[in-house]
Amino acid sequence: MFIRSERLFLRPGWPEEWEDLLTLIDDEDVVRNLARAPWPYTAEDAKAFAKREHDRVLPNFFITLPGSQGARLIGSVGLSRDGDEVQLGYWIGRPYWGQGYATEAARALLSLARTLGHKRLVASHFVDNPASGRVLHKLGFCPTGVVRDRFSLGRGGDAPAQLLSLTLGERSDCDDDFNAAMRAA
């Protein structure tokens, strides 16, 4: 599967891209905001991630930025199981932070998730990573009111994470509340 958005091309990762992946994610500030990536992130970790099996129902993509010299890897976005629920996850390399790429890539994946028949997604972000929370709010995710400790391999322990959810195909009831809170801040 491949997805083209306005500025990005989302595609499966290939095993031979492990070095590009390692170069991009070998940043403690990126990895500490992920639950499943260890720190330090090694060549073996990158090789394993780049060659993992592709799941048609829970796709994962490399986020690439097309250019005149080929597509440049800038992050990853995907769906996974979290118990009985389907979870959205993403990360963007530091040089590409603050440019809307996470929102654009995740929005493209949400469209595919609807097509695949997913009705509801969950997501979380560590409380000390409000930028990720803003991405999720822009996508229509609503806070569940639950903050719980979540284990992070990158942090080597638990950290508080806010849980959010999104019912696909419905307007988010929290959009107006979030926008009002952002205007007041």
User: 3-184 domain in CATH 3.40.630.30?
Assistant: yes
Backbone angles phi and psi of 164, in degrees to 5 = -135, 160
Average pLDDT score over the chain: 92
Contact by Cβ (8 Å): 127, 107: no
Residue 175 confidence (pLDDT): 57
Domain definitions of the chain by residue range: 3-184
Would you say 113 and 79 are in contact if contact means Cβ atoms under 8 Å apart? yes
CA-wise closest residue to 132 among 158, 166, 98: 98
Is the pLDDT higher at 105 or at 177? 105
Q: Residue 74 above 90 pLDDT?
A: yes
H helical segments located in the chain: 18-25, 28-31, 43-50, 101-115, 130-138, 175-184
Q: What is the pTM of this model?
A: 0.90
Higher pLDDT, 62 or 174: 62
The predicted structure's pLDDT at residue 169: 80
Query: For the residues 3-26, what does the mean pLDDT come to?
Result: 96
Q: Is pLDDT of 184 > 50? A: no
| pLDDT at position 183 | 36
